[in-house]
Structure 1
C-alpha cells in the first residue's frame, strides 16, 4: 500500500511539472523592436604601430 501511494504521488508531481511553462510561440514583450543587435563578440580590427628603426 505504501509503495502504491509513493508511486501515485510521484506520478502526480511529474504530471504537474510537465504542465508548467509557457505554451505557444515565443514573442518579445511590448515596446521592443524585432531588430537584431550587432554581435558584441567580434573584436574591432587591430591597428599595428610602426616598427622602430633598428641597427
Structure 2
C-alpha cells in the first residue's frame, strides 16, 4: 500500500504541475502526448 500511495502522490503532483503550466497554453486539461514533453514541462 505504501508504494501505491507514493505513486498516487507523484501522479497528483504531476497533474498539478501540468494543470498550472498548461493554463496559459491550451487550457487546464492540456496534456502532452509524449513523455518527453512531460519531462520538459517538469523542468520549467
User: Normalising to structure 2: TM-score of the pair?
Assistant: 0.47
- Higher percent of residues as helix: 2
Structure whose CA Rg is larger: 1
Higher relative contact order (CA 8 A, sep 6+): 2
User: Normalising to structure 1: TM-score of the pair?
Assistant: 0.39
